[in-house]
Structure 1
Amino acid sequence: MGPTLIMIALGAFVTTLDNTIVAAGAPSIARDLALDLPTLQWVSIGYMLPFAGLLPVAGTLVDRWGQAATLRAGLLAFGAGAAVGGLVTTAWLVIAARVLQGAAAAFLVPALLSLLRTNLDERRRAVGATIWTACLAVALALGPTLGGVLSEYLGWGWIFFVNLPFVAAMLLLLRKVVTGNGSTAGRDPAPGRPAVLSMLVVTAGMVLLTAAVVELGEGGALLPAVLGLGGAGLAIWFVLRERRARERLVPGELTGQRVFIGALTVQLLWGLGVSGVFFFTPLLHQESLGLGPVLAGLPLVVVAVAVVAATPLVPWAVPRFGPHRTVAAGLATVAAGLLAVAAVNQVPEILPRVPGLVLIGAGSALTTPLTSYALEIVADRHAGTASGLLTASRELSSALGVALIGAVLAVVRTARLDDGAASALAQGYTAGLLTAAGLELTGALLALRLLNPRRGQSPSRSDKRGAPFLSSR
């Protein structure tokens, strides 16, 4: 395997690992730093929000700066965030380190994916895409276990330090990867102007809205209302600005595509339901069931393995049932899994939860046509922007999911504290599971309606072609 393929493999693995490894170590971080639940949520959200906010313009900026400069700066920033995160002992510095890593990952992902186009021929490009996807799956499966092992035996700081060998290896490979193309490798001599102001507005709006949801769990009303109004105001400003701007963050052709907007909406609902449950599962298992970090992270491995095992069913299902029915069935299966876990959540054992966890993973695999089908109706000239928006929506849904399920858990736990801390946490988790199941069922109904192809909606071959989507997760 050549240096380009190794670089792509390492980048896919480490950027995905940093998203999944924190969940198993979060309870250890909370205990050592005496973090309350809302602050703990920002350890995860701090990575996801800048990742989501910067992705829509990151591709354009990569074209302006060139692959070499972007990859070098992104790797140094990602590594600096990892080093700081592992060394500090205060909550705000940990969160700041996560923000830095998320911002760096937003530029690393499109820069690494651009290597597929510039450094590889058509045959090796397909190999590179397969390697990228495989490394995503491996990181998804290994992240929770690795986070638990490092937290239990070396300390939670190693959740951050484990990134550094990957960063060092990629920096060493960088010279070999880009020298063949010259010092301006991958640089577009006349790239489009990035919609930086629109990006800043929408990112600030996302931060305020997410903070409002997190603060709801604290029981107050004034601060969530102020934050929510601020976020809504920025969202309205963004929409009005987009209508008038010459360089739009979201091209008008995409906002007019029913299937594409439907895919964004359904993907947002999937992430809202699943991501928050994933983040709080190790916390429940450690605090309520008394498990160590390693055992507490194992249920997430069950989900990841189920995702990998069920993925081969997707190419079989889509031609037979259509992407809309396949995605709807996947979301309904996820909902069934969440309800199954909720039904046995009062049992203080892991084994009864396994069937529900398998359903969650298998159902999530069936939602993958969301991205590929959405890109089939997008013109080639917007394929890169559409891919970035789909990836950004997945990261945004993860951040909002952690905030939403965290708020539900916190409200119920506070109301049930008379039953004991462990029991109150378990009841809050059950409420989070039921909320997530409702979101998944809503997504299933919308998938049947919004993703169902209508006559006259199909793209013509002369103008549009299917484009592969490579998720950052």
Structure 2
Amino acid sequence: MIPRTLAMIALGAFVTTLDNTIVAAGAPSIARDLALDLPALQWVSIGYMLAFAGLLPVAGTLVDRWGQAATLRAGLLTFGAGAAAGGLATTAWLVISARVLQGAAAAFLVPALLSLLRTNLDARRRALGATVWTACLAVALALGPTLGGVLSEYLGWSWIFFVNLPFVAAMLVLLRTLDTTGRDRGSKARPAVLSMLVVTTGMVLVTAAVVELGVVLGAAGVGFAIWFVRRERRARERLVPAELTGHRVFTGALIVQLLWGLGVSGVFFFTPLLHQESLGLGPMLAGLPLVAVAVAVVAATPLVPWAVPRFGPHRTVAAGLALVAAGLLAVAAVNHVPEVLPRLSGLVLIGAGSALTTPLTSHALEIVAEKHAGAASGLLTASRELSSALGVALIGAVLTVVRTAKLGEGHGPALADGYTAGLLTAAALQLVGALLALRLLSGQTGQSPSRSDKRGDPFLSSR
């Protein structure tokens, strides 16, 4: 039972994280075959992240109502259907729709899989389960761009989607052997579905406004955001508990994490595109340098438990963001060099700095009441996915504006100039985040979980 539970958790963590990054190296191939312009290409990535972020805050409650088995079965079948549809798609809207379907399924799979840690493993083995989850996230981060490049170059970009199907099949087989009766009784908690629909619509409109540079879309998105805030103040069943929105450290963690994702995610999405178009690399080699980021994350993570007690979580996070900014600036400084090797040192700095930002989650969860731990975990995860989507949109908008201006002036390397501008924008966001981390994340923590709870909670051991 225990090995099967760990295998289920490992496969789920890997495949849901893999789909965040696997499209990066294959995106240029998709764009060429389907004649996508840059805004449409961005939605291939954004569609997954927005659906994931929008549904996640209510997914945990719905998992409790529907039960583990029903949620996992429906989520896996939906995720597999999205993968098959994406691989067979011949138009942009079909590819984007498939990605949205996969993101929606992932939003339910993640809390259902994490609930297995509580119901199928004892306190001692939860630490092992959390470690397995974290390790699989790191492996997926490292392999995503390279695997996407290999599949695109040798089998075709459709296999970026088809590669999900063996994971889905294996997890469906494992699910039949797991004991999920402990969570199939149904919960009476009512999910705030309308609030979720309002805030998700606002997120989609704001993101679309950034991608399309549309003022009307942006105004509509702000309108939905205002509606969401007013509704939350009056609603009996709130999407976000009032105790969380009024907590300075928790809201600060959300803001700082959003700035980190805004700065980093978009750059990562466009890096393989630059390597292919400007450096003439194939899809596999274009995505390979991003492995340096993931390796640096894994290598620097052991420094976090050493740094936090000595310097505090606020200074550790601020130092990490400053290091990310330095890495982005280092890549920008050598972007004119038509070689990959000079870029690696900057990518390593980005990865090492990102590792030092992991206390954002653990510190935020330590200071919230235990009864809100589930909601806080969901919000932090949703914030990470939203920041990734907005990051792709923002850096894409910067790249588009600079590229259009350079082409209008008759300059040749317009994509490279736009990419440099995106790097500088991302670095500025990291520095703002570092300053806010020093200001918003300082102070004493509240009642913290017990040591055994910290070891057993995967949200306290990974971002």
Taking structure 2 as the reference length, the TM-score comes to 0.96
1:376 pairs with 2:366? yes
1:144-171 CA distance string (max 9 Å, x none) = 1111100000000000000000000000
Helix, strand or coil at the partner of 1:89? coil
* Cross-structure match for 2:109: 108
| Pair 126,422 (structure 1): closer, same or farther in 2 beyond 3 Å | farther
Q: CA deviation at 1:177?
A: 1.1
- RMSD (CA atoms): 1.5
1:186 pairs with 2:183? yes
| Pair 134,91 (structure 1): closer, same or farther in 2 beyond 3 Å | same
Helix, strand or coil at the partner of 1:416? helix
The counterpart of 2:209, out of the listed 204, 209, 212, is 212
* Cross-structure match for 1:221: none
Q: Would the aligned equivalents of 2:10 and 2:132 in 1 still touch at CA under 8 Å?
A: yes
Helix, strand or coil at the partner of 1:367? coil
Q: Would the aligned equivalents of 2:368 and 2:446 in 1 still touch at CA under 8 Å?
A: no
1:47 pairs with 2:48? yes
1:120-157 CA distance string (max 9 Å, x none) = 11111111111000000111111111111000000000
Q: Amino acid of the residue matched to residue 143 of structure 2?
A: L
Q: CA deviation at 1:245?
A: 0.4
Q: Amino acid of the residue matched to residue 195 of structure 1?
A: A
Task: Tell me which stretches of 4 or more aligned residues in structure 1 moved more than 2 Å.
Answer: 187-191, 418-422, 457-462, 465-468, 470-473
Q: Would the aligned equivalents of 1:270 and 1:331 in 2 still touch at CA under 8 Å?
A: yes
| Pair 328,460 (structure 1): closer, same or farther in 2 beyond 3 Å | closer
* Cross-structure match for 2:436: 446
Match runs of 1:292-371 below 5 Å: 292-371=282-361
State how far apart, in whole Å, the 1-side matches of 2:12 and 2:87 are: 20
Q: Amino acid of the residue matched to residue 446 of structure 2?
A: S
Q: Would the aligned equivalents of 1:109 and 1:472 in 2 still touch at CA under 8 Å?
A: no
Residues 389-398 or 185-194, more deviating: 185-194
The counterpart of 2:228, out of the listed 230, 238, 243, is 238
Q: CA deviation at 1:186?
A: 1.1
* Cross-structure match for 2:5: 4
Match runs of 1:224-235 below 5 Å: 224-235=214-225
1:272 pairs with 2:246? no
1:459 pairs with 2:447? yes
Q: Would the aligned equivalents of 1:140 and 1:304 in 2 still touch at CA under 8 Å?
A: yes
State how far apart, in whole Å, the 2-side matches of 1:38 and 1:166 are: 30
Identity percentage over the alignment?
A: 84
| Pair 104,143 (structure 1): closer, same or farther in 2 beyond 3 Å | same
Runs (5+) with no aligned partner, structure 1: 217-223
Runs (5+) with no aligned partner, structure 2: none
State how far apart, in whole Å, the 1-side matches of 2:409 and 2:169 are: 50
1:177-230 CA distance string (max 9 Å, x none) = 13xx43xx41354431100000000000000000000012xxxxxxx1110111
How many residues are matched?
458
Q: Amino acid of the residue matched to residue 190 of structure 2?
A: R
State how far apart, in whole Å, the 2-side matches of 1:13 and 1:470 are: 18
| Pair 472,331 (structure 1): closer, same or farther in 2 beyond 3 Å | closer
Q: CA deviation at 1:2?
A: 1.4
State how far apart, in whole Å, the 1-side matches of 2:448 and 2:225 are: 34
| Pair 460,68 (structure 1): closer, same or farther in 2 beyond 3 Å | closer
Helix, strand or coil at the partner of 1:160? helix
State how far apart, in whole Å, the 2-side matches of 1:84 and 1:396 are: 24
State how far apart, in whole Å, the 2-side matches of 1:129 and 1:70 are: 21
| Pair 385,173 (structure 1): closer, same or farther in 2 beyond 3 Å | same
Helix, strand or coil at the partner of 2:190? coil
Helix, strand or coil at the partner of 1:469? helix
State how far apart, in whole Å, the 2-side matches of 1:87 and 1:73 are: 21
Q: Amino acid of the residue matched to residue 325 of structure 2?
A: A
Q: Amino acid of the residue matched to residue 199 of structure 1?
A: M
Taking structure 1 as the reference length, the TM-score comes to 0.94
Helix, strand or coil at the partner of 1:349? coil
The counterpart of 1:287, out of the listed 247, 265, 277, is 277
